[in-house]
């Protein structure tokens, strides 16, 4: 198959539309559904991320994409009982495989943003992963393979219309990327660099104690940024993204957005939140929305009143002092930035969300100020010289 016709392009009025192979055949098969233009953009970007993660860390990887950026990404580390409950995977009825754990973590990073996501997995999709997806609102999935059981489960989603793409595991495109904007072609070498541990050797802070877990999380952050719309800043903990600040014009706005998401991720593990009693029949999206409103700082009383019908027992909100105390447990977080920090305010905000390790390209005229800020907080910072803009 050299081309695949689409119902329309980015918007319904943009017709005709299709995807085309530049050389030979398309390296993918549509096993179910009828993916659209944005679905394919999500699929092909997300596949590159999990493929790179697997290549860099040699562990199964997954991501949850929305509108051409990852809401979350993770590798297949085991989940604690606390995380299973927070991620709504404690009722799957199966032991979670590494690839299933990777997707649970990727989606659990920011469940609000993952509503209607595109899932990408580095390895063959198994029954446990399919059972997680069966219970979630998702637009589609891309992977190099599917077990028979997994494929049958996924084909039943969305009334049989769930989008399922199988991609050739070893496919590599040509060296050059071509993009057309307003009738003009932009040609550049494809960004095929995969950041590795050798990129983390230039540690510029007084603290030079970089444990293996932090190195791993730095790689996850850098690769997530590589496929996130710029500007972007990414917070990572324990092998998974916990906050991704994507597509902001100001670097500090990226850091604030990612930090706020990381705070919310951690607050959702508070015993009061894990112990919420929802009424029978309340769906996962409604639960996600309710939990998000309960832990946020900017929720109005009117919004809270509208939640009362969802609970068997109307919960008390976490008080400011309870939130502050709980957030002190968010520590040893890794932060990655796709470009340099122009001011130290990013470091000040990062510290509030438990950041201890930072990886960034460097190159600002204020690098010295940023380094001093890291030293004040006892942080470690590695400067890579590797910018990771994505547009």
In the residue annotation, 253 being an active-site residue is answered as: no
Task: Check: CB of residue 121 under 8 Å from CB of residue 102.
Answer: yes
In the residue annotation, 67 being an active-site residue is answered as: yes
Written as six digits, the tokens of 26 are: 């398309």
- Cα 256 from Cα 245, distance rounded (Å): 8
Task: Check: CB of residue 164 under 8 Å from CB of residue 150.
Answer: no
Written as six digits, the tokens of 193 are: 């660099």
Q: In this structure, how many other beta carbons lie within 10 angstroms of the beta carbon of residue 367?
A: 17
Helix H or strand E encompassing 370: helix 367-377
Given 163, 231, 244, 289, the catalytic residue:
231
Helix H or strand E encompassing 72: strand 69-75
In the residue annotation, 272 being an active-site residue is answered as: no
Given 51, 54, 66, 157, the catalytic residue:
66
**Residues contacting residue 240 through CB under 8 Å, at least 6 positions apart:** 72, 73, 74, 75, 77, 105, 106, 108, 109, 220
In the residue annotation, 266 being an active-site residue is answered as: no
The SS3 call for residue 70 is strand
**Residues contacting residue 339 through CB under 8 Å, at least 6 positions apart:** 230, 231, 251, 360, 361, 363, 387, 388, 389
- Active site residues per annotation: 66-67, 231, 391
């Amino acid at each position: 198959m050299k081309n695949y016709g689409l119902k329309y392009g980015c918007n319904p009025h943009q017709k005709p539309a299709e995807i085309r192979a530049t050389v030979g055949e398309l390296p993918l098969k549509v096993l179910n559904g009828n993916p659209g233009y944005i679905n394919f953009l999500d699929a092909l970007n997300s596949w590159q991320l999990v493929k790179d993660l697997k290549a860099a860390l040699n562990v199964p990887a997954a991501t949850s994409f929305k509108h051409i950026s990852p809401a979350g990404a993770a590798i297949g580390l085991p989940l604690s009982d606390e995380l299973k409950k927070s991620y709504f995977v404690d009722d799957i009825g199966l032991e979670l495989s590494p690839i299933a754990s990777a997707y649970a973590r990727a989606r659990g990073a920011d469940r609000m943003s993952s509503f209607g996501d595109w899932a990408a997995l580095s390895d063959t999709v198994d029954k446990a992963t399919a059972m997680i997806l069966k219970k979630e609102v998702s637009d589609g999935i891309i992977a190099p393979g599917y077990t028979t059981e997994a494929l049958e489960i996924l084909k039943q989603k969305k009334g049989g219309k769930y989008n399922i793409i199988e991609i050739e595991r070893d496919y590599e495109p040509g060296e050059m990327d071509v993009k057309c904007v307003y009738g003009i072609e932009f040609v550049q070498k494809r960004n095929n660099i995969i950041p590795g541990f050798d990129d983390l050797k230039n540690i510029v802070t007084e603290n030079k104690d970089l444990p293996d877990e932090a190195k791993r999380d730095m790689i996850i952050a850098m690769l997530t940024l590589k496929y996130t719309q710029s500007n972007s800043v990414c917070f990572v903990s324990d092998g998974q993204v916990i906050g991704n600040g994507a597509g902001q014009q100001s670097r500090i706005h990226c850091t604030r957005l990612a930090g706020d998401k990381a705070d919310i991720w951690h607050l959702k593990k508070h015993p009061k939140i894990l112990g919420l009693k929802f009424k029978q029949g309340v769906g996962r999206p409604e639960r996600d929305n309710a939990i998000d409103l309960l832990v946020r700082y900017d929720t109005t009383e009117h919004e809270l009143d509208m939640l009362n019908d969802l609970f068997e027992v109307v919960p008390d909100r976490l008080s400011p002092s309870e939130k502050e105390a709980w957030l002190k447990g968010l520590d040893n977080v890794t932060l990655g930035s796709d470009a340099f920090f122009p001011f130290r305010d990013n470091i000040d905000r990062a510290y509030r969300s438990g950041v201890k390790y930072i990886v960034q390209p460097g190159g600002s005229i204020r690098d010295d100020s940023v380094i001093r800020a890291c030293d004040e907080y006892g942080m470690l910072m590695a400067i890579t010289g590797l910018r990771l803009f994505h547009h």
